[in-house]
Structure 1
């Protein structure tokens, strides 16, 4: 399994359209080699957004 993570230097952790698209593509690509993606985290300042917690995976 792989947990994806990246930061938003602006501090705004809401995923952009591009964040959602790359997550979808990475999940599909990694799935081809049987690698699960249990979560994708966006870190901004002291905040963290979890794709899994928001039902986006």
Structure 2
């Protein structure tokens, strides 16, 4: 089973924040126990969405 997380930044800056990185790691560790692999965490802002997987943050 695989999962994907998407959320927006109302500020318009889609750069993953420290909190985004920490939450993604916590979520990845928890879901690993259920044999769910997190494939990506996409942050949406005013411009182009940012993939944390593409930035090698997952």
TM range (shorter): over 0.9
Please give the TM-score of this superposition, normalised by the length of structure 2: 0.92
Aligned length, in residue pairs? 57
Runs of 4+ residues deviating >2 angstroms: none
Q: CA deviation at 1:47?
A: 1.6
Contact 2:8 2:43 in 1 (8 A): yes
Match of 1:15 in 2: 16
Unaligned 5+ residue runs, structure 2?
none
Please give the TM-score of this superposition, normalised by the length of structure 1: 0.94
Unaligned 5+ residue runs, structure 1?
none
CA RMSD, Structure 1 to Structure 2 (Å): 0.7
1:45 aligns with 2:55: no
